Amino acid sequence: MRGASFTFLVLWLGLGVGLAEPNAAAQSGTSSTSSATFKAPATGTPATSTPGTPPGPEIWVKLQDQRVFALRLGRGEEVAEVRARRIGRALEAAAADPSTPEAPRIVPDGPLLVIYLGERPIVQLSAEDAAAAADASLELHAKAIAAQIQQALENERIRSRIANAVFSLSLLVFAGMIAFLLLRRLGQLSALANRYLERREDNLPPLSFSGIEVLSPAMVRATVVTAISIGTRLAQIGIVYLWLVLSLSLFERTRDTGAQLRELLLSPLGQLVGRFGRALPLVIVLVLAVLLLFVVVRFVGLFFASVARGETRLSWLPTELAAPTSVLLRAGLLLAFLVLAGPLILGSNDLVSSMIGIVALLSIGLGSTPLFATAIIGVVVIFGRRYHVGDYVEVGRAHGRIQRLSVLELRLIDDQGQELRVPHLMALLRGAKVSGPRARVTATIWVDPEAPLDVVAALLEETAATVGAAPRVDLDGLDRRAARFLVSIEATDAPRARTQLYARIGARLKEAGHRLGEAPAGP
């Protein structure tokens, strides 16, 4: 038993010594190889492996996540892994540069071949690299790696274009959603502001300047509502414009169009801002002058409005002429400002002729229109005292009492109480019949033809005298069915006088025992 144990121990020790010797030899070979690699010459010398040393494992050069080609040897003090990472970074830099051509160049450099992409060196190859790859020659090895680099660069750029297109589309959709939300939010804010102004319509303060009411509360509300509406539309147009410029700038084919669209608005806007900055002092003076003109025109309008209401009395101006005088005076102030204030503010006498020419052209343009012709006739009619407020007039088919006189029109109230607006030009073309403060009211009466007509006529005239002034009775027609009388009077209230005239004539004829005749059929 002891002999067997001893024999087993001897065999185990012998087996351990035999296994240790190859491991030591392997470690010695590895140490020798490492030493040779460390002492190899720098880049530009042959590869680091010694004759008879087998190549290492394949180390892949990668472009992003794409395998390009495999390395088996390092160079100089650079091991294969470090060499592969350096070459990968050079490939990534070349792929990121749009000016880099996709076709590599192979340039000899002594015993080496260098592969270039444009002016950027990518990899140096030696005969040892070709031998490690089992290629027949260095040239074939370099061409194979150049083809792999070209294919990888093409694939990477295709991938980059696809990624950019997907990102651009995503950004386009995202920007469109943001633009849509902004447009909707602007509309909501505008509607909210309008509702707030409607609720506070009666509480809005007037705009006053030195105690003079420049804008009434209604005008303040209208101005604010208009400003909000215009500002909202301009903001919405600006959002759509920015989204459109951004959308066109995202894609290569439409990038030039986007730049042109951007320059189309921003270039004139920038020039306008620059000119405005240079002309800012002049603009301030002009704004102050316009404000002063507005205050003066507003004061004139309020003053003559008080004259028209009878609150202010002027010995030289009747009440009914206050409104047209106000219009003429305000128009004169505006024209004087255009002709005289321009050269004074701008400090140039050369503008006098140009301003006068503009005013002359404006006057000629207005004079060639019916509107200006109507205004001229209105001035002649009003200041010539052709009409008076309260007079009854008939212009064409329009007739009624004058409620208001303006430079452009007559405002009449007809028998039904409706307002009629008649331009002065119509009176020139069709003529006008003026009855004065009392209108001639006519009633048509049909009487039995067998009645004594002279007695009936006297009865009708007597009855009409009780209703209005200047009664007149005319026998206008006679047939076997009826005798037609036209009874007319002058009255200040024509509709009421006509009703009373018919009512009293009917009652008196009934009292006198005279029967009414049969009115003829038809119009």
Residues 442 and 491: their CA atoms lie apart, in Å, by 10
Q: What is the pLDDT of residue 47?
A: 40
Bridge partner residues of 475 (DSSP): 485
**What's the chain's average pLDDT?**
76
Q: Are 323 and 309 in contact (CB under 8 A)?
A: no
The whole-number pLDDT of residue 20 equals: 36
Q: Are 63 and 95 in contact (CB under 8 A)?
A: yes
> What pLDDT is stored for residue 180 in this prediction?
92
Torsion, Cα of 176, 182, 184, 186 (10° steps): -150
Count CB-CB contacts under 10 A for residue 427.
25
Q: Which residue has the tokens 């061409």?
A: 143
pLDDT at 496 over 90: no
Per the listing, tokens 């209401």 go with 309
Tell which wins on pLDDT, 139 or 74: 139
**SS3 state at 472:** strand
pLDDT in tens, 472-486: 888 888 888 888 888
Residue 43 pLDDT class (50, 70, 90 cuts): very low
Least confident of 44-58, 97-111, 349-363, 425-439: 44-58
In the chain, the domains with their CATH numbers are: 200-278 (no CATH), 289-368 (no CATH), 384-435 (2.30.30.60), 439-511 (3.30.70.100)
Give the separation between CA 329 and CA 51, rounded to whole angstroms: 114
Half-sphere exposure of 334 (CA within 13 A, CB side): 13
Q: Which residues of 367-376 are buried (b: 16+ CB within 10 A; e: fewer)?
A: eeeeeebbbe
Helix (H, G, I), strand (E, B) or coil at 116: strand
The whole-number pLDDT of residue 38 equals 26
Q: With H, G, I as helix, E, B as strand and everything else as coil, classify residue 372.
A: helix
Q: State residue 124's pLDDT score.
A: 86
Q: What is the SS3 string spanning 347-371? A: CCCCHHHHHHHHHHHHHHHHHCCHH
Overall pTM > 0.85: no
| Structure confidence at residue 31 as a pLDDT band (50, 70, 90) | very low
The rounded distance, in Å, linking the Cα atoms of 221 and 206 is: 9
* Higher-confidence position of 350 and 19: 350
Q: pLDDT grade, residue 182 (50/70/90)?
A: very high
Is-contact 473 432, C-beta < 8 A? no
Q: What are the CA-CA distances from residue 18 to residues 5, 8, 218, 473 (Å)?
A: 20, 16, 113, 161
> What pLDDT is attached to residue 475?
85
Average pLDDT over residues 146-170: 86
Helix (H) or strand (E) holding 339, with range, is: none
pLDDT at 7 over 80: no
Contact 444, 520 (CB under 8 A): no
Cα 145 from Cα 475, distance rounded (Å): 126
Residue 260's CB: how many other CB atoms inside 10 A?
11
Per mean pLDDT, which range of 80-89, 330-339, 357-366, 466-475 is the poorest?
A: 357-366
Q: What is the pLDDT of residue 26?
A: 32
Residue 37 has pLDDT above 60, yes or no: no
Q: CA–CA separation, 247 vs 243, rounded Å?
A: 6
Q: In what order do the strands lie in the sheet with 120-125?
A: 105-109, 112-117, 120-125
